Protein backbone atom coordinates (compact mmCIF):
# COMPACT_ATOMS: atom_id res chain seq x y z
CA UNK A 1 0.00 0.00 0.00
CA UNK A 2 2.83 2.39 0.87
CA UNK A 3 4.54 1.56 -2.43
CA UNK A 4 1.37 2.43 -4.31
CA UNK A 5 1.05 5.72 -2.42
CA UNK A 6 4.71 6.52 -3.15
CA UNK A 7 4.24 5.84 -6.87
CA UNK A 8 1.06 7.92 -6.92
CA UNK A 9 2.91 10.81 -5.30
CA UNK A 10 5.60 10.73 -8.00
CA UNK A 11 2.98 10.57 -10.76
CA UNK A 12 1.15 13.55 -9.24
CA UNK A 13 4.41 15.52 -9.27
CA UNK A 14 5.00 14.73 -12.95
CA UNK A 15 1.38 15.52 -13.78
CA UNK A 16 1.55 18.84 -11.95
CA UNK A 17 4.69 19.78 -13.84
CA UNK A 18 3.09 19.22 -17.24
CA UNK A 19 -0.10 21.07 -16.23
CA UNK A 20 1.87 24.01 -14.84
CA UNK A 21 4.09 24.03 -17.92
CA UNK A 22 1.03 24.10 -20.19
CA UNK A 23 -0.43 27.19 -18.51
CA UNK A 24 2.94 28.80 -17.81
CA UNK A 25 4.08 28.81 -21.42
CA UNK A 26 1.34 31.33 -22.20
CA UNK A 27 2.46 33.76 -19.49
CA UNK A 28 4.31 36.92 -20.47
CA UNK A 29 7.04 38.37 -18.27
CA UNK A 30 8.33 41.94 -18.62
CA UNK A 31 11.33 42.62 -20.81
CA UNK A 32 14.71 43.20 -19.14
CA UNK A 33 15.35 46.84 -18.30
CA UNK A 34 17.44 48.34 -21.08
CA UNK A 35 20.98 49.04 -20.01
CA UNK A 36 20.63 46.99 -16.84
CA UNK A 37 21.46 43.38 -17.52
CA UNK A 38 20.78 40.75 -14.94
CA UNK A 39 24.48 40.29 -14.34
CA UNK A 40 24.91 44.03 -13.79
CA UNK A 41 22.20 44.04 -11.15
CA UNK A 42 23.42 40.93 -9.43
CA UNK A 43 25.86 42.76 -7.21
CA UNK A 44 29.07 40.98 -6.17
CA UNK A 45 30.32 38.61 -8.81
CA UNK A 46 29.93 34.85 -8.36
CA UNK A 47 32.57 32.88 -6.49
CA UNK A 48 33.74 31.24 -9.68
CA UNK A 49 34.58 34.61 -11.21
CA UNK A 50 36.16 35.96 -8.06
CA UNK A 51 38.19 32.77 -7.77
CA UNK A 52 39.42 33.27 -11.29
CA UNK A 53 40.53 36.79 -10.44
CA UNK A 54 42.19 35.50 -7.30
CA UNK A 55 44.24 33.07 -9.34
CA UNK A 56 46.32 36.04 -10.47
CA UNK A 57 49.63 36.59 -8.67
CA UNK A 58 48.83 37.47 -5.07
CA UNK A 59 49.81 40.79 -3.57
CA UNK A 60 52.38 40.95 -0.77
CA UNK A 61 49.56 41.71 1.67
CA UNK A 62 47.16 38.95 0.60
CA UNK A 63 48.07 36.65 3.49
CA UNK A 64 47.58 39.51 5.93
CA UNK A 65 44.13 40.21 4.46
CA UNK A 66 43.11 36.56 4.73
CA UNK A 67 44.25 36.41 8.37
CA UNK A 68 42.45 39.67 9.16
CA UNK A 69 39.27 38.44 7.48
CA UNK A 70 39.33 35.21 9.49
CA UNK A 71 39.91 37.14 12.72
CA UNK A 72 36.94 39.45 11.99
CA UNK A 73 34.73 36.52 11.02
CA UNK A 74 35.53 34.52 14.16
CA UNK A 75 35.06 37.52 16.45
CA UNK A 76 31.76 38.57 14.87
CA UNK A 77 30.49 35.00 14.82
CA UNK A 78 31.38 34.44 18.47
CA UNK A 79 29.79 37.70 19.63
CA UNK A 80 26.58 37.19 17.69
CA UNK A 81 26.56 33.53 18.69
CA UNK A 82 26.61 34.56 22.36
CA UNK A 83 23.90 37.15 21.76
CA UNK A 84 21.67 34.70 19.93
CA UNK A 85 22.16 32.06 22.62
CA UNK A 86 20.88 34.53 25.20
CA UNK A 87 17.66 34.99 23.24
CA UNK A 88 17.16 31.26 22.87
CA UNK A 89 18.67 30.72 19.40
CA UNK A 90 21.49 28.28 18.65
CA UNK A 91 24.87 30.02 18.22
CA UNK A 92 25.01 28.79 14.63
CA UNK A 93 22.21 31.23 13.75
CA UNK A 94 24.36 34.07 15.07
CA UNK A 95 27.22 32.88 12.88
CA UNK A 96 24.94 32.83 9.84
CA UNK A 97 23.67 36.34 10.57
CA UNK A 98 27.24 37.53 11.16
CA UNK A 99 28.23 36.24 7.73
CA UNK A 100 25.32 38.08 6.11
CA UNK A 101 25.99 41.32 8.03
CA UNK A 102 29.68 41.30 7.11
CA UNK A 103 28.79 41.19 3.42
CA UNK A 104 27.21 43.76 1.10
CA UNK A 105 23.85 43.44 2.91
CA UNK A 106 25.02 45.66 5.79
CA UNK A 107 28.75 46.41 5.94
CA UNK A 108 28.89 47.10 2.22
CA UNK A 109 25.98 49.56 2.50
CA UNK A 110 27.27 51.30 5.63
CA UNK A 111 30.93 51.45 4.62
CA UNK A 112 31.99 50.05 1.25
CA UNK A 113 35.57 51.02 2.05
CA UNK A 114 35.52 48.88 5.19
CA UNK A 115 34.11 45.92 3.25
CA UNK A 116 36.80 46.28 0.61
CA UNK A 117 39.51 46.54 3.26
CA UNK A 118 38.44 43.49 5.29
CA UNK A 119 37.29 41.37 2.33
CA UNK A 120 39.09 42.62 -0.81
CA UNK A 121 38.16 40.77 -3.99
CA UNK A 122 41.71 39.41 -4.24
CA UNK A 123 41.10 37.09 -1.26
CA UNK A 124 37.61 35.83 -2.18
CA UNK A 125 39.00 32.74 -3.90
CA UNK A 126 41.29 31.89 -0.97
CA UNK A 127 38.57 32.52 1.59
CA UNK A 128 36.21 30.33 -0.43
CA UNK A 129 38.68 27.44 -0.38
CA UNK A 130 39.25 27.79 3.38
CA UNK A 131 35.54 27.98 4.12
CA UNK A 132 34.57 25.00 2.00
CA UNK A 133 37.38 22.94 3.49
CA UNK A 134 35.95 23.74 6.92
CA UNK A 135 32.50 22.66 5.79
CA UNK A 136 33.85 19.36 4.44
CA UNK A 137 35.74 18.60 7.66
CA UNK A 138 32.76 19.55 9.82
CA UNK A 139 30.43 17.20 7.98
CA UNK A 140 33.05 14.48 8.41
CA UNK A 141 32.84 14.93 12.20
CA UNK A 142 29.02 14.80 12.00
CA UNK A 143 29.33 11.47 10.21
CA UNK A 144 31.75 10.22 12.85
CA UNK A 145 29.19 10.84 15.60
CA UNK A 146 26.26 9.37 13.67
CA UNK A 147 24.91 6.18 15.24
CA UNK A 148 23.28 4.28 12.41
CA UNK A 149 21.66 1.74 14.73
CA UNK A 150 18.85 4.23 15.40
CA UNK A 151 17.66 4.16 11.79
CA UNK A 152 18.74 0.75 10.55
CA UNK A 153 15.21 -0.54 11.06
CA UNK A 154 13.70 2.62 9.59
CA UNK A 155 15.76 2.97 6.39
CA UNK A 156 12.74 2.69 4.10
CA UNK A 157 10.74 5.08 6.28
CA UNK A 158 13.44 7.75 6.29
CA UNK A 159 13.80 7.64 2.51
CA UNK A 160 10.02 7.84 2.10
CA UNK A 161 9.81 10.76 4.54
CA UNK A 162 12.68 12.52 2.79
CA UNK A 163 11.24 12.11 -0.69
CA UNK A 164 7.77 13.21 0.40
CA UNK A 165 9.41 16.26 1.95
CA UNK A 166 10.85 16.99 -1.49
CA UNK A 167 7.83 16.26 -3.68
CA UNK A 168 5.35 18.41 -1.70
CA UNK A 169 7.41 21.63 -1.78
CA UNK A 170 8.45 20.87 -5.37
CA UNK A 171 4.80 20.77 -6.45
CA UNK A 172 4.01 23.98 -4.54
CA UNK A 173 7.09 25.63 -6.05
CA UNK A 174 5.87 24.77 -9.54
CA UNK A 175 2.46 26.29 -8.80
CA UNK A 176 4.04 29.35 -7.19
CA UNK A 177 6.06 29.90 -10.37
CA UNK A 178 2.80 30.62 -12.24
CA UNK A 179 2.24 33.68 -10.03
CA UNK A 180 5.87 34.83 -9.76
CA UNK A 181 6.96 34.56 -13.39
CA UNK A 182 4.95 37.53 -14.75
CA UNK A 183 6.00 39.70 -11.79
CA UNK A 184 9.64 39.02 -10.85
CA UNK A 185 11.06 37.33 -13.94
CA UNK A 186 11.85 38.59 -17.45
CA UNK A 187 10.88 37.37 -20.89
CA UNK A 188 14.42 36.19 -21.70
CA UNK A 189 13.99 33.39 -19.11
CA UNK A 190 12.09 30.29 -20.35
CA UNK A 191 9.18 29.48 -18.05
CA UNK A 192 10.04 25.76 -17.89
CA UNK A 193 13.49 26.38 -16.44
CA UNK A 194 12.11 29.01 -14.07
CA UNK A 195 9.36 26.72 -12.75
CA UNK A 196 11.69 23.75 -12.30
CA UNK A 197 14.18 25.90 -10.43
CA UNK A 198 11.50 27.23 -8.09
CA UNK A 199 10.42 23.68 -7.34
CA UNK A 200 13.98 22.55 -6.65
CA UNK A 201 14.80 25.61 -4.52
CA UNK A 202 11.75 24.97 -2.33
CA UNK A 203 12.90 21.39 -1.74
CA UNK A 204 16.28 22.08 -0.12
CA UNK A 205 17.14 21.26 3.50
CA UNK A 206 20.27 22.79 5.01
CA UNK A 207 22.11 19.64 5.98
CA UNK A 208 25.11 21.35 7.68
CA UNK A 209 23.01 23.95 9.51
CA UNK A 210 20.53 21.32 10.65
CA UNK A 211 23.47 19.30 11.98
CA UNK A 212 24.75 22.33 13.88
CA UNK A 213 21.31 22.96 15.44
CA UNK A 214 21.07 19.34 16.54
CA UNK A 215 24.61 19.39 17.91
CA UNK A 216 24.04 22.62 19.84
CA UNK A 217 20.99 21.05 21.52
CA UNK A 218 22.73 17.68 22.05
CA UNK A 219 20.12 15.97 19.88
CA UNK A 220 22.48 14.68 17.19
CA UNK A 221 22.87 11.29 18.92
CA UNK A 222 19.19 10.85 19.78
CA UNK A 223 16.77 8.92 17.60
CA UNK A 224 15.10 12.15 16.48
CA UNK A 225 18.45 13.69 15.56
CA UNK A 226 19.71 10.64 13.70
CA UNK A 227 16.49 10.28 11.71
CA UNK A 228 16.56 14.02 10.91
CA UNK A 229 20.18 13.81 9.73
CA UNK A 230 19.46 10.72 7.67
CA UNK A 231 16.40 12.31 6.08
CA UNK A 232 18.33 15.52 5.41
CA UNK A 233 21.19 13.60 3.80
CA UNK A 234 18.83 11.68 1.52
CA UNK A 235 16.89 14.89 0.92
CA UNK A 236 19.88 16.89 -0.22
CA UNK A 237 21.37 14.15 -2.41
CA UNK A 238 17.98 13.89 -4.15
CA UNK A 239 17.59 17.65 -4.31
CA UNK A 240 21.04 18.10 -5.85
CA UNK A 241 20.19 15.48 -8.45
CA UNK A 242 16.93 17.34 -9.09
CA UNK A 243 18.91 20.55 -9.42
CA UNK A 244 21.08 18.84 -12.05
CA UNK A 245 17.92 18.21 -14.07
CA UNK A 246 17.04 21.91 -13.76
CA UNK A 247 20.53 22.94 -14.87
CA UNK A 248 20.31 20.48 -17.75
CA UNK A 249 16.99 21.97 -18.86
CA UNK A 250 18.34 25.51 -18.52
CA UNK A 251 21.33 24.58 -20.66
CA UNK A 252 19.26 22.36 -22.98
CA UNK A 253 21.46 19.38 -22.07
CA UNK A 254 19.45 16.70 -20.25
CA UNK A 255 22.43 14.34 -20.65
CA UNK A 256 24.08 16.27 -17.79
CA UNK A 257 21.36 15.18 -15.38
CA UNK A 258 21.37 11.56 -16.59
CA UNK A 259 25.14 11.38 -16.22
CA UNK A 260 24.98 12.83 -12.73
CA UNK A 261 22.36 10.35 -11.57
CA UNK A 262 24.31 7.43 -13.00
CA UNK A 263 27.58 8.52 -11.39
CA UNK A 264 25.84 9.09 -8.05
CA UNK A 265 24.38 5.59 -8.08
CA UNK A 266 27.78 4.11 -8.97
CA UNK A 267 29.49 6.10 -6.21
CA UNK A 268 27.00 5.02 -3.55
CA UNK A 269 27.31 1.41 -4.62
CA UNK A 270 31.10 1.59 -4.39
CA UNK A 271 31.01 3.22 -0.96
CA UNK A 272 28.46 0.86 0.60
CA UNK A 273 29.52 -2.44 -0.92
CA UNK A 274 33.30 -1.99 -1.27
CA UNK A 275 34.60 0.83 0.93
CA UNK A 276 32.40 0.28 3.98
CA UNK A 277 33.41 -3.37 4.64
CA UNK A 278 37.07 -2.37 4.34
CA UNK A 279 36.68 0.56 6.75
CA UNK A 280 34.79 -1.57 9.29
CA UNK A 281 37.46 -4.25 9.16
CA UNK A 282 40.21 -1.67 9.54
CA UNK A 283 38.49 0.08 12.47
CA UNK A 284 38.34 -3.19 14.43
CA UNK A 285 42.13 -3.22 14.59
CA UNK A 286 42.02 -0.14 16.84
CA UNK A 287 39.28 -1.13 19.29
CA UNK A 288 41.67 -1.39 22.25
CA UNK A 289 44.59 0.83 21.23
CA UNK A 290 45.11 4.45 20.22
CA UNK A 291 45.17 4.88 16.41
CA UNK A 292 48.53 5.85 14.96
CA UNK A 293 49.25 8.98 12.94
CA UNK A 294 49.60 6.86 9.82
CA UNK A 295 46.08 5.54 10.35
CA UNK A 296 44.70 9.04 10.81
CA UNK A 297 46.55 10.23 7.71
CA UNK A 298 45.16 7.34 5.65
CA UNK A 299 41.61 8.15 6.71
CA UNK A 300 42.07 11.82 5.85
CA UNK A 301 43.25 10.78 2.40
CA UNK A 302 40.12 8.66 1.99
CA UNK A 303 37.97 11.55 3.26
CA UNK A 304 39.45 14.01 0.78
CA UNK A 305 39.22 11.60 -2.15
CA UNK A 306 35.58 10.86 -1.36
CA UNK A 307 34.83 14.59 -1.14
CA UNK A 308 36.62 15.19 -4.44
CA UNK A 309 34.53 12.45 -6.05
CA UNK A 310 31.17 13.83 -4.96
CA UNK A 311 32.23 17.35 -5.88
CA UNK A 312 33.23 16.15 -9.34
CA UNK A 313 29.90 14.33 -9.71
CA UNK A 314 28.05 17.51 -8.77
CA UNK A 315 26.35 16.62 -5.47
CA UNK A 316 28.73 18.71 -3.31
CA UNK A 317 31.82 17.59 -1.42
CA UNK A 318 30.06 17.58 1.98
CA UNK A 319 28.24 14.34 1.18
CA UNK A 320 31.42 12.48 0.34
CA UNK A 321 32.92 13.65 3.64
CA UNK A 322 29.80 12.74 5.61
CA UNK A 323 29.63 9.22 4.15
CA UNK A 324 33.25 8.46 5.05
CA UNK A 325 32.66 9.63 8.61
CA UNK A 326 29.46 7.61 8.91
CA UNK A 327 31.30 4.43 7.88
CA UNK A 328 33.59 4.59 10.91
CA UNK A 329 31.92 2.95 13.96
CA UNK A 330 30.47 5.64 16.22
CA UNK A 331 32.09 5.73 19.67
CA UNK A 332 35.13 3.72 18.60
CA UNK A 333 38.62 4.91 19.64
CA UNK A 334 39.28 5.78 16.02
CA UNK A 335 36.16 7.98 15.78
CA UNK A 336 36.90 9.64 19.12
CA UNK A 337 40.48 10.42 18.08
CA UNK A 338 39.36 12.02 14.83
CA UNK A 339 36.63 14.07 16.53
CA UNK A 340 39.13 15.30 19.14
CA UNK A 341 41.51 16.39 16.38
CA UNK A 342 38.94 18.26 14.33
CA UNK A 343 36.02 19.46 16.42
CA UNK A 344 37.20 22.73 17.97
CA UNK A 345 39.38 23.88 15.08
CA UNK A 346 36.66 23.30 12.53
CA UNK A 347 33.76 24.72 14.55
CA UNK A 348 35.64 27.80 15.80
CA UNK A 349 37.97 28.66 12.91
CA UNK A 350 36.86 27.19 9.61
CA UNK A 351 33.08 26.87 9.60
CA UNK A 352 32.39 30.57 10.37
CA UNK A 353 34.53 31.36 7.34
CA UNK A 354 32.03 29.43 5.22
CA UNK A 355 29.18 31.55 6.55
CA UNK A 356 31.09 34.76 5.87
CA UNK A 357 32.09 33.74 2.34
CA UNK A 358 28.49 32.96 1.44
CA UNK A 359 27.39 36.23 3.02
CA UNK A 360 29.76 38.09 0.69
CA UNK A 361 27.70 36.84 -2.25
CA UNK A 362 24.33 37.73 -0.73
CA UNK A 363 22.40 41.00 -0.83
CA UNK A 364 19.19 41.45 1.14
CA UNK A 365 18.49 45.12 0.46
CA UNK A 366 16.93 44.48 -2.94
CA UNK A 367 13.42 43.88 -1.57
CA UNK A 368 11.54 47.19 -1.40
CA UNK A 369 7.90 48.21 -1.56
CA UNK A 370 4.72 46.68 -0.14
CA UNK A 371 4.11 44.38 -3.10
CA UNK A 372 7.65 43.00 -2.95
CA UNK A 373 7.38 42.27 0.77
CA UNK A 374 3.99 40.60 0.29
CA UNK A 375 5.50 38.38 -2.40
CA UNK A 376 8.38 37.61 -0.04
CA UNK A 377 5.94 36.66 2.72
CA UNK A 378 4.07 34.43 0.28
CA UNK A 379 7.27 32.66 -0.70
CA UNK A 380 8.06 32.01 2.97
CA UNK A 381 4.56 30.67 3.62
CA UNK A 382 4.58 28.35 0.60
CA UNK A 383 8.07 27.08 1.40
CA UNK A 384 7.09 26.31 5.00
CA UNK A 385 3.81 24.68 4.06
CA UNK A 386 5.50 22.42 1.52
CA UNK A 387 8.50 21.30 3.58
CA UNK A 388 6.92 21.16 7.02
CA UNK A 389 3.60 19.80 5.81
CA UNK A 390 5.03 17.17 3.49
CA UNK A 391 7.55 15.87 6.04
CA UNK A 392 5.07 15.86 8.93
CA UNK A 393 2.40 13.93 7.03
CA UNK A 394 4.91 11.39 5.70
CA UNK A 395 6.43 10.87 9.15
CA UNK A 396 3.01 10.34 10.71
CA UNK A 397 2.03 7.82 8.04
CA UNK A 398 5.36 6.05 8.68
CA UNK A 399 4.39 5.44 12.31
CA UNK A 400 5.84 8.39 14.23
CA UNK A 401 3.71 10.26 16.76
CA UNK A 402 2.35 13.69 15.92
CA UNK A 403 4.92 15.33 18.21
CA UNK A 404 7.80 13.47 16.59
CA UNK A 405 6.43 14.07 13.10
CA UNK A 406 6.00 17.79 13.74
CA UNK A 407 9.49 18.11 15.22
CA UNK A 408 10.95 16.36 12.20
CA UNK A 409 8.97 18.65 9.89
CA UNK A 410 10.34 21.71 11.67
CA UNK A 411 13.90 20.43 11.36
CA UNK A 412 13.55 19.61 7.67
CA UNK A 413 12.22 23.13 7.06
CA UNK A 414 15.68 24.45 7.95
CA UNK A 415 17.23 25.76 4.74
CA UNK A 416 20.17 27.94 5.73
CA UNK A 417 23.15 28.41 3.48
CA UNK A 418 22.71 25.29 1.38
CA UNK A 419 19.69 27.13 0.01
CA UNK A 420 21.90 30.15 -0.66
CA UNK A 421 24.28 27.96 -2.64
CA UNK A 422 21.39 26.79 -4.80
CA UNK A 423 20.12 30.35 -5.22
CA UNK A 424 23.55 31.51 -6.34
CA UNK A 425 23.54 28.78 -8.98
CA UNK A 426 20.19 30.06 -10.24
CA UNK A 427 21.51 33.63 -10.31
CA UNK A 428 24.69 32.59 -12.11
CA UNK A 429 22.60 30.80 -14.75
CA UNK A 430 20.28 33.86 -14.98
CA UNK A 431 17.23 31.72 -14.17
CA UNK A 432 16.14 34.03 -11.36
CA UNK A 433 16.40 37.79 -11.12
CA UNK A 434 18.37 39.60 -8.39
CA UNK A 435 15.08 40.70 -6.78
CA UNK A 436 13.73 37.15 -6.57
CA UNK A 437 17.15 36.05 -5.36
CA UNK A 438 16.90 38.49 -2.44
CA UNK A 439 13.38 37.28 -1.61
CA UNK A 440 14.49 33.66 -1.59
CA UNK A 441 17.43 34.57 0.65
CA UNK A 442 14.98 36.07 3.10
CA UNK A 443 12.98 32.85 2.97
CA UNK A 444 16.11 30.84 3.75
CA UNK A 445 16.96 33.04 6.74
CA UNK A 446 13.43 33.13 8.19
CA UNK A 447 12.87 29.36 7.94
CA UNK A 448 16.25 28.73 9.60
CA UNK A 449 15.73 31.24 12.42
CA UNK A 450 12.24 29.85 13.09
CA UNK A 451 13.53 26.31 13.61
CA UNK A 452 14.96 26.62 17.12
CA UNK A 453 12.04 28.33 18.95
CA UNK A 454 9.41 26.09 17.34
CA UNK A 455 11.48 22.97 18.02
CA UNK A 456 11.89 24.05 21.64
CA UNK A 457 8.11 24.13 22.06
CA UNK A 458 7.60 20.78 20.33
CA UNK A 459 10.63 19.02 21.80
CA UNK A 460 11.65 20.38 25.25
CA UNK A 461 15.16 19.62 26.45
CA UNK A 462 13.88 17.31 29.20
CA UNK A 463 11.98 15.19 26.67
CA UNK A 464 13.30 11.72 25.99
CA UNK A 465 15.17 11.42 22.69
CA UNK A 466 13.65 8.07 21.78
CA UNK A 467 11.05 7.89 19.07
CA UNK A 468 7.87 5.94 19.39
CA UNK A 469 6.31 3.56 16.97
Q: Is pLDDT of 112 > 80?
A: yes
Confidence of residue 48 (pLDDT cuts 50, 70, 90): very low
Mean pLDDT value across residues 420-440:
82
- Closest-CA residue to 318 (of 354, 367, 286, 282): 354
Confidence at residue 76, expressed as pLDDT on a 0 to 100 scale: 92
How many Cα atoms within 13 Å fall on the side-chain side of residue 10? 7
Give 253-276 pLDDT, tens digit per residue. Answer: 555 667 777 888 888 889 888 888
Confidence of residue 368 (pLDDT cuts 50, 70, 90): confident
Give me the percent of the chain exceeding a pLDDT of 70: 84
Confidence at residue 377, expressed as pLDDT on a 0 to 100 scale: 94
Confidence of residue 179 (pLDDT cuts 50, 70, 90): very high
43-47, 229-233, 365-369, 449-453, range with the lowest pLDDT: 43-47
Rounded to two decimals, what is the model's pTM? 0.74
Mean pLDDT value across residues 223-229:
80
Q: Is pLDDT of 379 > 90?
A: yes
Give 299-357 pLDDT, tens digit per residue. Answer: 899 999 999 998 888 777 878 888 888 888 877 778 888 888 888 888 888 888 877 87
Give me the percent of the chain exceeding a pLDDT of 90: 14
First to last CA, the chain: 18
Domains of the chain with bracketed CATH: 140-343+368-458 (1.20.1530.20)
Of the two residues 52 and 110, the one the predictor is more confident about is: 110
Average pLDDT, the chain: 80
Q: Is pLDDT of 30 > 90?
A: no
Amino acid sequence: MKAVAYLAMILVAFGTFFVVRHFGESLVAPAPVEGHSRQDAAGPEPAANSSAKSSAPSSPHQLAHVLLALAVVILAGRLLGIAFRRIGQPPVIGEIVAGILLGPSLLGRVSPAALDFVFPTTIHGTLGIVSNLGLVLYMFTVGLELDGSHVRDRAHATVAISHTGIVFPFILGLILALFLYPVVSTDDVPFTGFALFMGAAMSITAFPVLARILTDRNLHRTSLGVVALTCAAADDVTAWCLLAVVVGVARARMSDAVTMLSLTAAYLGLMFFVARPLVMRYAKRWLNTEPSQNTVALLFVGLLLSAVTTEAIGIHAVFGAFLVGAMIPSGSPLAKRLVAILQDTVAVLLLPAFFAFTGLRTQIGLVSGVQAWLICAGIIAVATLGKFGGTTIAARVSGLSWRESSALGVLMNTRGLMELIVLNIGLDLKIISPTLFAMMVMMAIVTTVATAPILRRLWPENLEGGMGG
